[in-house]
Protein backbone atom coordinates (compact mmCIF):
# COMPACT_ATOMS: atom_id res chain seq x y z
CA UNK A 1 0.00 0.00 0.00
CA UNK A 2 2.82 2.44 0.79
CA UNK A 3 4.45 1.53 -2.52
CA UNK A 4 1.46 3.10 -4.30
CA UNK A 5 2.19 6.58 -2.91
CA UNK A 6 3.82 9.03 -5.27
CA UNK A 7 6.18 11.82 -4.21
CA UNK A 8 3.46 14.42 -4.74
CA UNK A 9 1.00 12.51 -2.58
CA UNK A 10 3.52 12.34 0.27
CA UNK A 11 4.15 16.07 -0.08
CA UNK A 12 0.42 16.84 -0.05
CA UNK A 13 -0.12 14.61 2.99
CA UNK A 14 2.68 16.41 4.84
CA UNK A 15 1.25 19.77 3.79
CA UNK A 16 -2.24 18.90 5.04
CA UNK A 17 -0.78 17.52 8.26
CA UNK A 18 1.17 20.75 8.82
CA UNK A 19 -1.83 22.93 8.01
CA UNK A 20 -3.95 20.90 10.43
CA UNK A 21 -1.53 21.55 13.28
CA UNK A 22 -1.27 25.23 12.36
CA UNK A 23 -5.07 25.35 12.53
CA UNK A 24 -5.07 23.70 15.97
CA UNK A 25 -2.42 26.20 17.13
CA UNK A 26 -4.52 29.12 15.85
CA UNK A 27 -7.60 27.84 17.68
CA UNK A 28 -5.70 27.46 20.93
CA UNK A 29 -4.15 30.92 20.52
CA UNK A 30 -7.52 32.55 19.85
CA UNK A 31 -9.21 30.82 22.79
CA UNK A 32 -6.30 31.70 25.09
CA UNK A 33 -6.48 35.34 23.99
CA UNK A 34 -10.24 35.48 24.45
CA UNK A 35 -9.98 34.26 28.03
CA UNK A 36 -6.97 36.39 29.04
CA UNK A 37 -8.42 39.61 27.58
CA UNK A 38 -9.16 42.00 30.42
CA UNK A 39 -10.74 44.50 28.04
CA UNK A 40 -13.55 42.10 27.09
CA UNK A 41 -16.52 41.54 29.35
CA UNK A 42 -17.97 38.14 30.11
CA UNK A 43 -20.76 38.43 27.55
CA UNK A 44 -18.36 39.52 24.80
CA UNK A 45 -16.11 36.55 25.62
CA UNK A 46 -19.12 34.26 25.44
CA UNK A 47 -20.10 35.64 22.03
CA UNK A 48 -16.57 35.23 20.65
CA UNK A 49 -16.36 31.63 21.92
CA UNK A 50 -19.74 30.75 20.41
CA UNK A 51 -18.80 32.43 17.14
CA UNK A 52 -15.51 30.52 16.94
CA UNK A 53 -17.18 27.20 17.83
CA UNK A 54 -20.14 27.58 15.46
CA UNK A 55 -18.18 29.05 12.53
CA UNK A 56 -14.61 27.89 13.21
CA UNK A 57 -12.82 29.20 10.12
CA UNK A 58 -14.79 32.40 9.83
CA UNK A 59 -14.67 32.98 13.59
CA UNK A 60 -10.90 32.61 13.82
CA UNK A 61 -10.23 34.78 10.78
CA UNK A 62 -12.64 37.49 11.95
CA UNK A 63 -11.06 37.41 15.41
CA UNK A 64 -7.58 37.70 13.92
CA UNK A 65 -8.66 40.67 11.81
CA UNK A 66 -10.68 42.40 14.53
CA UNK A 67 -8.40 41.78 17.51
CA UNK A 68 -5.06 40.72 16.05
CA UNK A 69 -3.29 43.80 17.39
CA UNK A 70 -4.73 43.14 20.85
CA UNK A 71 -3.45 39.56 20.63
CA UNK A 72 0.06 40.91 20.09
CA UNK A 73 -0.31 43.34 23.00
CA UNK A 74 -1.58 40.57 25.28
CA UNK A 75 1.30 38.30 24.28
CA UNK A 76 3.85 41.07 24.90
CA UNK A 77 2.28 41.87 28.27
CA UNK A 78 2.32 38.21 29.26
CA UNK A 79 5.99 37.96 28.24
CA UNK A 80 6.84 41.07 30.29
CA UNK A 81 5.02 39.71 33.32
CA UNK A 82 6.73 36.34 33.00
CA UNK A 83 10.12 38.03 32.64
CA UNK A 84 9.46 40.21 35.70
CA UNK A 85 8.39 37.16 37.71
CA UNK A 86 11.51 35.26 36.66
CA UNK A 87 13.74 38.20 37.56
CA UNK A 88 12.03 38.59 40.95
CA UNK A 89 12.47 34.88 41.63
CA UNK A 90 16.14 34.99 40.70
CA UNK A 91 16.67 38.10 42.82
CA UNK A 92 14.92 36.47 45.80
CA UNK A 93 16.77 33.18 45.35
CA UNK A 94 20.15 34.88 45.02
CA UNK A 95 19.55 37.13 48.02
CA UNK A 96 20.76 40.68 48.38
CA UNK A 97 23.37 41.62 45.83
CA UNK A 98 24.81 44.39 48.00
CA UNK A 99 27.86 43.49 50.04
CA UNK A 100 27.78 44.17 53.78
CA UNK A 101 30.16 47.08 53.26
CA UNK A 102 27.83 48.69 50.69
CA UNK A 103 24.83 48.07 52.95
CA UNK A 104 26.60 49.69 55.93
CA UNK A 105 27.56 52.67 53.77
CA UNK A 106 23.93 53.04 52.70
CA UNK A 107 22.75 52.86 56.31
CA UNK A 108 25.34 55.45 57.37
CA UNK A 109 24.16 57.74 54.58
CA UNK A 110 20.56 57.34 55.75
CA UNK A 111 21.63 58.17 59.32
CA UNK A 112 23.62 61.21 58.17
CA UNK A 113 20.64 62.52 56.20
CA UNK A 114 18.40 62.07 59.25
CA UNK A 115 16.16 59.42 57.69
CA UNK A 116 16.91 56.99 60.53
CA UNK A 117 18.11 57.69 64.07
CA UNK A 118 21.09 56.18 65.91
CA UNK A 119 19.10 53.37 67.56
CA UNK A 120 17.55 52.34 64.23
CA UNK A 121 21.03 52.50 62.65
CA UNK A 122 22.44 50.24 65.38
CA UNK A 123 19.61 47.74 64.97
CA UNK A 124 19.96 47.60 61.15
CA UNK A 125 23.75 47.45 61.42
CA UNK A 126 23.42 44.43 63.72
CA UNK A 127 21.19 42.76 61.11
CA UNK A 128 23.73 43.41 58.37
CA UNK A 129 26.70 42.25 60.41
CA UNK A 130 24.76 39.27 61.70
CA UNK A 131 25.20 40.02 65.40
CA UNK A 132 22.15 39.58 67.65
Residue 95 Ramachandran class (φ > 0 left, ψ -120 to 50 alpha, else beta): left
Residue 2 lies in a domain: no
**Do residues 48 and 63 lie in contact, with contact meaning Cβ atoms separated by under 8 Å?**
yes
**First CA to last CA across the chain, in angstroms?**
81
pLDDT in tens, 67-101: 888 888 888 888 999 998 888 888 777 665 567 78
Q: Half-sphere exposure (CA, 13 Å, Cβ side) for 42?
A: 0
Mean of the per-residue pLDDT values for the chain? Answer: 86
Indicate if 71 and 126 belong to the same structural domain. Answer: no
Domain count, the chain: 2
Total H helices, total E strands in the chain: 5, 0
Indicate if 81 and 47 belong to the same structural domain. Answer: yes
Residue 1 lies in a domain: no
Indicate if 104 and 74 belong to the same structural domain. Answer: no
**Domain span including residue 87:** 7-95
Amino acid sequence: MLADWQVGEVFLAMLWFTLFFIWIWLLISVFADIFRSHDLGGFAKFLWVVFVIVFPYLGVFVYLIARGNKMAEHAAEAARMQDAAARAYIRDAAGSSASPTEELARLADLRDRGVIDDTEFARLKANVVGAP
